[in-house]
């Protein structure tokens, strides 16, 4: 684990440079929207999804360079969902990634357009992914489009909105987390594997890994909302409890939630057997996320 932090820093830097190259310049007309897009993308996220994409490419013996476009596409889809999720008509939040949210700086209309523009940019970027023997551009596009659509990300947000003010069962909560969180983490690793010409068996293993890691990630996210400070998280802590949201700690309590995150992480790790030593980074990331503090 000792070498994980410098490796993560190096990957973040690489991803940030690539993001900067893919996004329209802040000086391009109309400037407001391009400034707003860059404001949210470069507000300091962990870059978890692109890093997972790069680590999955490595696990399948691929080149980082080939995985950079889908890596950036996952981060931009994630950022779009955060910009829209923070809007007054959704979760209504003032703080994200340690900064005022997009609508607080640029106004609500511009924040809606920023999310729309980021989502559109996802497809411009993913289309630049090099084809390999098993996968071509249409496969990458189908992968990310199905994740962003009404059956996954948006579907999860629908269930979330409809569940407001209700006490949800664990099963219904899992359904939301599968769609809102696990789907994009799963696609991130699948896309990385696809750029490395992953065999169907390896792609299945990445799917199992991403799904379980994604659920574990959301359980930890729910726990941190209760146990951490706003400064540490860079977003409003204690929000779930304040709006009486159904979460893992609310349904299971903190201790059982921690056990659940550990159980899901073990399942994720088990799926990595097929990669042998090449799965080392994915394994380190999964262990690190379980212990994370923000």
- Residue nearer to ligand GRG on the CB measure, 126 or 153: 153
From residue 94, alpha-carbon distances to 59, 99, 224 in Å are: 38, 8, 18
Q: Does 85 bind ligand GRG (CB under 6 A)?
A: yes
- Find the binding residues for ligand GRG in span 180-239 (CB under 6 A): 180-181, 218, 221
Closest chain position to ligand GRG (CB)? 45
- Residue nearer to ligand GRG on the CB measure, 138 or 151: 151
Distance CA 140, CA 182 (A): 18
**Interacting span for ligand GRG (CB under 6 A) from 45-53, 121-129, 138-146, 236-244:** 45-53
Q: Are 68 and 195 in contact (CB under 8 A)?
A: no
DSSP string, 122-135: HHHHHTTSPP-SS-
Closest CA to 32 of 123, 84, 105: 105
Q: Which two tokens stand for residue 25?
A: 């310049």
CA dihedral 120, 121, 123, 127 (to 10 degrees): 150
Q: Are 112 and 118 in contact (CB under 8 A)?
A: no
Q: Does 240 bind ligand GRG (CB under 6 A)?
A: no
Q: C-beta of 119: minimal distance to ligand GRG in Å?
A: 8
Question: Contact with ligand GRG (CB under 6 A): which of 18, 144, 153, 282?
Answer: 153
Q: Does 90 bind ligand GRG (CB under 6 A)?
A: yes
Q: Does 137 bind ligand GRG (CB under 6 A)?
A: no
| SS3 state at 164 | coil
Question: Contact with ligand GRG (CB under 6 A): which of 11, 14, 102, 157?
Answer: 157
Q: Does 152 bind ligand GRG (CB under 6 A)?
A: no
| SS3 state at 238 | coil
**Interacting span for ligand GRG (CB under 6 A) from 11-19, 104-112, 134-142, 153-161:** 153-161
Q: Which two tokens stand for residue 84?
A: 């829209």
Q: Are 215 and 150 in contact (CB under 8 A)?
A: no
Q: C-beta of 121: minimal distance to ligand GRG in Å?
A: 15
Q: Which residues of the shown chain bind ligand GRG in the complex (CB under 6 A)? A: 45-46, 48, 78, 81-82, 84-85, 90, 97, 153-154, 156-157, 180-181, 218, 221
């Amino acid at each position: 684990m000792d070498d994980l932090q410098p490796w993560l820093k190096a990957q973040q830097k690489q991803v940030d440079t690539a993001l900067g190259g893919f996004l329209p310049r802040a000086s391009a007309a109309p400037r407001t929207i391009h400034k707003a897009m860059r404001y949210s993308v470069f507000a300091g996220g962990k870059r978890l999804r692109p890093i997972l994409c790069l680590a999955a490419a490595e696990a399948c013996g691929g080149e980082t360079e080939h995985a950079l476009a889908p890596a950036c596409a996952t981060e931009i889809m994630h950022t779009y969902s955060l910009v829209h999720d923070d809007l007054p008509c959704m979760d209504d939040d003032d703080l994200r990634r340690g900064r005022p949210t997009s609508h607080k700086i640029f106004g609500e209309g511009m924040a809606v357009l920023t999310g729309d523009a980021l989502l559109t940019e996802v497809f411009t970027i993913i289309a630049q992914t090099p084809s390999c023997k098993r996968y071509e551009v249409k496969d990458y596009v189908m992968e990310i489009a199905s994740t962003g659509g009404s059956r996954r990300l948006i579907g999860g947000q629908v269930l979330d909105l409809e569940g407001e003010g209700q006490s949800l069962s664990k099963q219904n909560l899992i359904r939301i987390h599968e769609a809102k969180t696990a789907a994009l983490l799963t696609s991130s690793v699948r896309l990385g594997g696809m750029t490395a010409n992953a065999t169907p068996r390896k792609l299945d293993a990445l799917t199992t890994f991403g799904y379980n890691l994604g659920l574990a990630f959301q359980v930890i996210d729910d726990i941190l909302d209760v146990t951490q400070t706003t400064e540490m998280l860079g977003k409003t802590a204690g929000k779930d409890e304040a709006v009486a949201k159904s979460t893992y700690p609310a349904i299971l309590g903190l201790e059982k939630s921690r056990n659940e995150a550990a159980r899901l992480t073990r399942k994720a790790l088990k799926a990595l057997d097929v990669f042998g030593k090449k799965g080392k980074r994915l394994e380190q990331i999964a262990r690190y996320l379980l212990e994370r503090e923000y």
